[in-house]
Chains A and B, each alone.
Chain A
Amino acid sequence: MDNKTNEMNLENYWQDVEDKDYSEIDLKEEFTEGTYQIGLTKKSRRDFLKIMGFSLSVLPMATSCKKISAQKAIPYLHKNDQITPGVANWYATTNSLCPSHCSLLVKTREGRPIKIEGNPLSPKSQGGTCPVCQASVLSLYDSSRFKAPKKNGQYTTFEAIDSEVRASLLKAASDGKRTALILNSVYGPSLLNVVTDFKNSFGNVDVIVYNPFGESASVRANSLSFGREDVFNYKLDKAKVIVGISSDFLATGSDPINLTKQYSKRKDLFLDKNLIRHIQVESLMTLTGSNADTRIVISHDDESTFINNLLYYIQKATGSRLLPVEAIDSDMKPKVQSVASELLKAKGESIVLSGSFDITDQVKVNAINFVLGNFNKTITLSSREFNRHENDADFVKFLEDAEGDKYGNVIFYDVNPYYDYFDTARVEQALKKIETKISLSTAPDETSEHSNYVAPDRHYLEKWDDFEISQGVFGFSQPVIQSLFNNRTAQESLLVWMGSSTSYEDYIKTLWENKLLKQFGQVGIFQNFWNKAIHDGIFDAHLTPSDTPAFKFAGQLTNKKPVTASLKLKVYEKNSMRKGKFANNPWLQEMPDPITKATWDNYLMVSPKLAKTKDISTGDLVRINVKGSELTIPALVQSGVHESVVGLALGYGRTVSGRAGKGVGVNAYPFTSFESGTFQSGVEVASIEKTGQKYKLALTQTHHSMEGRDIVRETTLGNYVVDPSAGNPGGVKLVSMWGNHKKDGHQWAMMIDLNKCTGCSGCVISCNAENNVPVVGKEEVYNRREMHWLRLDRYYKGDDENPEVVHQPMMCVHCDNAPCETVCPVLATVQSSDGLNQQVYNRCVGTRYCANNCPYKVRRFNWFDYAHDDKLENMVLNPDITVRTRGVMEKCSMCIQRIQEGKLQAKKEGRPLKDGEIKLACQQSCPADAIVFGDINDPESEISKKLKDPRYYRVLEELGVAPRVGYLTKVRNK
């Protein structure tokens, strides 16, 4: 074993900054940049050993709580009594990366966090997670993160920059200049307190909350409507009718997981046969819209008109004059009236949600909900005390002030205005005047590139923090691994710069001990509280929610005139890339978009009608002229998009990022604007034309029709009530020459409720993380060689302009009579005694006959040795799962390692395995609880009971392959 190589690696990662000269050259050698593409990386056996050696020797250090030098690393001679090699430790924490702040459980193996799961204790996310949460563990091992603080692009030490930053902060105070602290929305008491302390300690600090396309419009609207700057808590589970107007609340927005949990409960026919009725009104095709019972396609410009007229008709019907609105003439009248009448029938049991970035629209939506009497029933104002919401206008004002040379310092925390402000040239110009720019970013971004100082923040898995995730409910973050680099919690940096020497951990504890607990009337020993809070990751103060005050509009209603542009470009958020923060996460880049099934790119979403008139087909490069500038971009023809809109996803086109995110797609922010107090989407497209060139769009699904095959079976609620087996003609009577397999012991099976699955694809990423599924890169996805064991098939039905959509998770269905098994010449795929179809990697010679003969096409072949060249990234690998070599077949194993672990645990404890004890990775992460897994030999198990449901069917049952994975029909409430 090459010990020298080993030590070299360790030096770069682990030694203190003083010991190591962080010259660029050294780091470049270690973290070679390049495009994220597997291509033809040559990996020798020696490299593999190197990586293994590195990982093994890193473990003891990663788990120790004090930084020690690599040379003194010793193995487990004195075993840490909390760590048993081979047994996972779980820690509760809270995701700080997005405003949902989902509660999580982190699985660590030998000190390494390797998997994220939802924390079932959280009253909000209830154990569900989104793709971003699932993938966030990979960001921890992002080798492009800052290794140490930087000054003017050069690595240095915290001691060196701290004194200079503090001097600069003090200098501004004495010069009569101001310091700007720009951060993202704040939902944590401790961060809020640090910010307040920071502000008070200097006296010249302006705190600006910047989060473009966040909650600014609805927060401003709520302030105007109710006098409270807060966001809503929706209770979809109490609603009968929901109307989403251009709101992708199941995928993006502020709280997709919580809303999906609630939504899926109302889609669960085992709970309540009176399904929720979901009407979606939108111009682009969103994930939420794809799940709607009725989807109304309108133009982007008509969205405001729709809201206005909806309010008008509802007010007219109820005789209310809450807001003085007049109906605007439009051809949507029957559609608006039908929506209004449905809402009026469900007064107090409906919700209207809008994704509009226009304050007036949001005020009108508030009025609609108020007139319908939904407040305090299905909607409450979340009275989170410890928050600070964004206000888009603040940042614009800051820019003006900066241009006026008002600022001496600016600190960026978790914001990236050099990338996501629509006019980055202006940002650059305005901020040039600011002498000291400090970035608290964890990894290089456009803003840190422009900053004089970088004091890198830690990844959320490396730090302490707290969040108010809903009124009176707090989530706690705890470090689950020793910080991988020489970085420091951002809050601690602020504390140091204001002259405090408290660690942020102590700061949080002190705040809770001295102030917050008393405030919540908690008595008892603080340490007990603290231990429990950290253990659970959640503390619920059980506050009684306050009533939402009456709607009292306190502003001037600016009735926007309907704009008539023939074609508008609308930006939207994907649930993988979100707003660009996660661009450097290869798992998210490779996640097929739930709707378009595209990976590694953004593209111009074009309606079929427009595509026809302009002769555009998917993959054509088109030239569009927007705001006077030209942009060449690939087009993707998307069913269900209104002909007067083209869509472009945010979050791409990062220029400063690690190798996965750099240069992927185009930046959509320049095509947004700032109007009437908020950042707005929807700019006029002057022209759109084909260039004649083609572009390789990496799509995982290119055929969208089921071709009349009953792959996804569905019915309507009306038919279902009459006959629960409606739409499901039932199984085929098959005659077999062979006897059945022996079915003793456990017999595993899975069932997916297609009525609950929203298609969010969180399970795909969860499966990636659990099963070491390799990332293959854009070129290989384009070659149709993605490796995902679990995929979401999405089919369209009916009208191309407004189709019905179905999502169907598809993975190895573990056939009893598996066609793959009979054809393998070397018995590399066999049936297990508990009914699973198993792949024996080291026996496989790679004839691919099994994949050819698989009717479901779920087998994945290792065409190359997939890149494991990023040694740090490899630390995310699950040690329970073999990393597959080139030339072997792989596929869903039904998380055999989890089954095995559950069985062993029960055996050790001398008890039978409990139903639901084993949760597969996809099942655990599913925010819709659509997946049921269990033992069909146990008559009391959930799956045994649900298998008898008349909605149950198996795809391609007529082939006689007897799959173990089945589905429940989709029931549309229309």
Chain B
Amino acid sequence: MSDVVSKLRKPLVSKDRTYTEVSDDVLSVIEKPPGNLWKICISISSSLLLMGIIVIGYQVSTGIGTWGLNKTVGWSWDITNFVFWVGIGHAGTLISAILLLFRQKWRTSINRAAEAMTIIAVLCAAIYPIIHMGRPWLAYWVFPYPNTRDIWLNFRSPLLWDVFAISTYFCVSAVFWYIGLIPDLANMRDRAQTPLKKRILTIVSLGWSGSHRTWHRYEMLCLILAGLATPLVVSVHTIVSMDFATSVIPGWHATIFPPYFVAGAVFSGFAMVLTLLIILRKVMNFEHYITPSHIEAMCKVLLCTGMIVGLAYGTEFFMAWYSGNQYERFVFLNRAFGPYAWAYWIMVVCNVVIPQLFWLKKVRTNLVIVFIISIFVNIGMWFERFVIITTSLHRDFLPSSWAMFSPTWVEICTFIGTFGLFFTLFFLFVRFLPAIAISEVKTVLNYAKPKDHHE
């Protein structure tokens, strides 16, 4: 690991820091009692979570009829939110796995939080496939467990592929994240003041000794996990897209969906990472670790994936016209000019038009604007899923069944409730675990670089 300090690139950590200072910077925040700001934030988010739990309880005990779905539109907000949350998860894995393999060092200060976001987002997403069922108490029927009834599953169903894809993704992401945490947990263990804290951290840090052999194995394991997680980045959203692509519904039945969905997922994931980190660096005083150049790098990813998504929108329209299929053509014209045109144009503006501002360095380095744009992308990507799911269903083959969908308060509150879950878990994470991978950041400090290359 003998990196050369570039004359052109800015240092990844903007202030000269020693190893101890880094540990102090990251860990002192969580070693102190929580501040008022944190208390306010967690109260709000956990209240939203509680509301979500109550609403889901009401919905499960009463029926899916409490949602706005109907005979024509059998999925709408439920699956929209599912895909939205799964998509958000993608940035974390991409940053931690793919960027690790590509040795993108700038990932070190953001990967921990991004991975945590991944796991939390997948948890939020996992709620929907369960509660959207008519009989959620039978959700375990989708697992292939041996039973005396001699019944088995339908392996042709993309929903079943989803079950495996999502659960694998969650497991690998969670293990990867946890393994990455171990050196930092050991660091915390060593700094722990109370015996109870020490004891717990001793257990969860799995007897980390910091020896060369430990470090070596740790790095190897991270590489292997990164290798395992990399195909998952692609596979999860590919399979999610197959929920639609393998159907016969015009607007869903498209071969472009796997790459289109993966790009969309990375796009939305990075937007959410930006949203979170811009706040985090301010609130947790991580400005030196999550620097404007980090933000800029992520903006470039957004710009690129946003254009891939835009290209996909265009390709869909072209294919609808080129296929000569009247149903296909109708669906796309209906998307752009039908009763849900407003949703379509929100999607296009948020996902394709607004991110074009990232061509300008001024915009990329203005954190306020970046934050606003990241919110727009979040909104746009939610609408993308809504547009795909709802507008394809609401006017399909037989016009006699055409119908409109509008959400009920139950659906809206459930969605807000998942945000409650997301932020509650995220706030707990930043409160109790190091939000920046201390051990990894230490490797990119100027302090860590061979001194003889200095001018």
Q: Which residues of A contact B (CB under 8 A)?
A: 40, 701-709, 711, 780, 783-786, 791, 793-795, 808, 810, 819, 822-827, 843-849, 851-853, 855-857, 859-865, 885-889, 955-956, 959, 961
Contact = CB atoms under 8 A, between A and B. Distances in A.
A849 B159 contact: yes
Among all A-B residue pairs, the 7 with the closest Cβ atoms: A846-B134, A887-B134, A863-B65, A784-B70, A848-B74, A793-B400, A857-B401
B248 A827 contact: no
Contacts of B163: 825
Nearest to B61: A42
Contacts of A701: 400-401
| B64, B134, B396, B398: residue with the most chain A Cβ atoms closer than 10 Å | B398
B65 A864 contact: yes
B72 interface: yes
B158 A823 contact: yes
Interface stretch (B92-100, B135-143, B357-365): B135-143
Contact of A708 (B65, B154, B326, B396): B326
Given A853-B249, A861-B74, A823 B403 contact: no
Interface in B53-78: 62-65, 68-72, 74-75
Given A791-B400, A823-B156, 9 more contacts: A702-B402, A793-B400, A808-B400, A823-B157, A824-B154, A826-B154, A862-B134, A886-B63, A887-B135
Contact of B64 (A708, A827, A860, A887): A887
A interface SS class? loop
Contacts of A822: 154, 156-157, 246
A705 B400 contact: no
B11 to A, nearest CB: 51
Interface string B369-412: 00000000000000000000000010111111111000000000
B134 A852 contact: no
Contacts of A824: 154, 157, 159
Interface in B129-167: 132-136, 138-139, 141-142, 151-154, 156-160, 163
Contacts of A711: 398-399
Contact of B134 (A793, A825, A889, A956): A889
B247 A845 contact: no
Contacts of B75: 848-849, 852
Interface in B227-278: 243, 246-249
| B71, B399, B401: residue with the most chain A Cβ atoms closer than 10 Å | B71
Nearest to B325: A958
Given A824-B157, A847-B132, A784 B403 contact: yes
A711 B401 CA distance: 13
Contact of A825 (B64, B132, B157): B157
Contacts, number: 161
B71 A845 contact: no
B153 A702 contact: no
A709 B399 contact: yes
Contacts of A785: 65, 70-71
B334 to A, nearest CB: 10
Given A703-B400, A855-B398, A864-B62, A845 B135 contact: yes
Contacts of B398: 711, 793, 810, 855-857, 955-956
B interface SS class? loop
Contacts of A847: 132-134, 159
A697 to B, nearest CB: 14
A825 B70 contact: no
Contacts of B69: 848, 863
Nearest to B155: A825
A859 B396 CA distance: 14
A165 B246 CA distance: 74
A736 to B, nearest CB: 14
11 contacts: A793-B398, A825-B157, A826-B153, A844-B135, A847-B132, A849-B157, A851-B71, A853-B248, A855-B249, A861-B71, A862-B134
Nearest to B399: A703
B407 to A, nearest CB: 12
B170 interface: no
B338 to A, nearest CB: 11
A845 B142 contact: yes
A825 B142 contact: yes
Contacts of B160: 825
Interface of B: 62-65, 68-72, 74-75, 132-136, 138-139, 141-142, 151-154, 156-160, 163, 243, 246-249, 326-327, 330, 393, 395-403
Given A823-B157, A827-B153, A843-B151, A702 B248 contact: no
Given A709-B399, A863-B65, A827 B71 contact: no
A251 to B, nearest CB: 20
A843 B72 CA distance: 22
Contacts of B74: 848-849, 851-852, 861
B157 A863 contact: no
Contacts of A888: 134-135
A819 B326 CA distance: 20
A825 B71 contact: no
| A856, A859, A886, A887: residue with the most chain B Cβ atoms closer than 10 Å | A887
A773 to B, nearest CB: 13
B157 A845 contact: no
Contacts of B243: 849
A810 B138 CA distance: 31
B141 A40 contact: no
Given A783-B70, A845-B138, A845-B139, A865 B63 contact: yes
A798 to B, nearest CB: 16
A849 B389 CA distance: 12
Given A709-B399, A784-B70, A819-B247, A846 B64 contact: yes
A852 B71 contact: no
A961 B253 CA distance: 14
A699 B157 CA distance: 34
B416 to A, nearest CB: 22
A825 B154 contact: yes
Given A846-B134, A848-B75, A849-B157, A863 B396 contact: no
Given A825-B153, A825-B163, A853-B248, A794 B70 contact: no
B45 to A, nearest CB: 30
A785 B159 CA distance: 24
Given A857-B72, A861-B134, A864-B62, A705 B399 contact: yes
B396 A855 contact: yes
A829 to B, nearest CB: 9
A795 B399 CA distance: 9
A714 to B, nearest CB: 16
B402 A845 contact: no
Contact of A709 (B65, B247, B326): B326
B410 to A, nearest CB: 12
Contact of A886 (B134, B393, B402): B134
Given A791-B400, A856-B397, A887-B64, A846 B70 contact: no
B310 to A, nearest CB: 27
A861 B139 CA distance: 17
Nearest to B162: A825
Given A40-B62, A783-B70, A844-B134, A823 B399 contact: no
A706 B327 CA distance: 12
B300 to A, nearest CB: 37
A857 B396 contact: yes
A857 B71 contact: yes
B69 to A, nearest CB: 7
Contacts of B159: 823-825, 847, 849
A780 B66 CA distance: 11
Contacts of A961: 248
B48 to A, nearest CB: 24
A795 B134 contact: no
Contact of B133 (A819, A845, A853, A956): A845
A823 B246 contact: yes
A708 B330 CA distance: 11
Contacts of B132: 847-848
